[in-house]
A and B are shown apart, each in its own frame.
Chain A
Amino acid sequence: MPHHSPETQQRNRLSMSPNAASSPAPRALKVVIAGGFGVGKTSIVGSLSEVPPLRTEAKMTSASIGIDDTSKINQKTTTTVAMDFGRITIDRSLIMYLFGTPGQDRFGFMWDDLVNGAIGALVLVDLRRIDDCFDAVDYFENRSIPFVVAMNVFDPAVQYPEAVVRDALSISDHVPIVSIDARDRESAKGGLLTLLNVLVSRKQTGAPVGDPARV
């Protein structure tokens, strides 16, 4: 990046926006929305985003680990995947992006690109297909990324006590479990706020977020 004198920088900033000179460097906060295919990830992104959900296609490179292609295990493959995401502007310099993970297992490799640097994750669960979320739970547990389990209630007749779900998922008590309707903004906000409150309480107790105290 070329060096610019302070005067030049000041002039350029003033030409862009009267407030820019006092603004801190812009930062993005990443929240990952994970879970099985069709569990409502795009719905919750749409419920929370201030703009219609955005989509971009990205080429992701990974070692070929296809189970049907062991002869090429050391080769790199490039796959184009579509990412859906939304945006919440906190202020001019702080913007939260919500990224839905592609639902198919075979795209699991690209999670690292999405999850690196994320502040946390919501793992969506469909109680009719609870095992679909096991991969996501394992993934975030193994990387010590704070997450909340959000049961997307499709059918009010299919509900289980939290303790049953917690047991089925084998998650410890420090991971909150909430019920939401992913299509409803207020309900979706509740899930995101639960995650943010987890981050706050970790800060207040002084525990590193990535090292949750086990009970």
Chain B
Amino acid sequence: MAYEDDERLKARPYFITAGKTHSNFPLEAMVVARQAPTSALRHERRAVVEEVANPKALVEVAAQLGLPLGVVRILIEELASDGWVDIHTESSTADDLDIDTLLRVIDAVKHL
């Protein structure tokens, strides 16, 4: 919420996304930066890239930045096509998980 006082983030959502209103990948899609942001990135785009220095789900990026999910989804898609971030949408349903991964998850939960 470090950006809460930033007037620029109070722009209307369609302004932030340059008028684009539709994009579609799942809210748990994992986003991770390919590189650290440079001065070429401003405002919300920079905030998104900084937020995903470590991988985060789309929905968490939106929550942490206090921006609407739909807006962040469009920003991330643009950032991905410009090479700033990667979007990973590999399915991880119970059938996709191997037993070693499940045991790793159990171990991590036990140590919470």
Residue ranges of A at the interface with B (Cβ–Cβ < 8 Å): 1-2, 4, 9, 12-13, 15-16, 25-30, 48, 50, 54-59, 83, 85, 87-97, 113-114, 116-120, 146, 185, 189, 192-193, 196-197, 199-200, 202-204, 208-210
- The interface residues of chain A lying within 8 Å CB-to-CB of B91 are 117
Contacts A16-B34, A58-B27, A210-B95 given; does A92 touch B54 at CB 8 Å? yes
Task: Give, as a whole number of angstroms, the nearest-CB distance from A145 to chain B.
Answer: 8
A146 to B105, CA, bound (A): 16
Using CB atoms, name the residue of chain A closest to B72.
A56
A171 to B54, CA, bound (A): 41
Contact A15 B36 (CB under 8 A): yes
Task: Give, as a whole number of angstroms, the nearest-CB distance from B97 to chain A.
Answer: 7
Task: Give, as a whole number of angstroms, the nearest-CB distance from B13 to chain A.
Answer: 10
Chain B interface residue number, banded: 35 or more
A111 to B69, CA, bound (A): 16
How many inter-chain residue pairs (CB < 8 Å) link A and B?
144
State the majority secondary structure of interface residues on A: mixed
Contacts A90-B104, A200-B99 given; does A97 touch B55 at CB 8 Å? no
- The interface residues of chain A lying within 8 Å CB-to-CB of B63 are 54-56, 85
A24 to B1, CA, bound (A): 29
Contact A97 B99 (CB under 8 A): no
Q: Which listed residue, A113, A120, A193, touches B94 by the CB 8 Å rule?
A: A120
Task: Give, as a whole number of angstroms, the nearest-CB distance from B9 to chain A.
Answer: 15
- The interface residues of chain A lying within 8 Å CB-to-CB of B90 are 25, 27
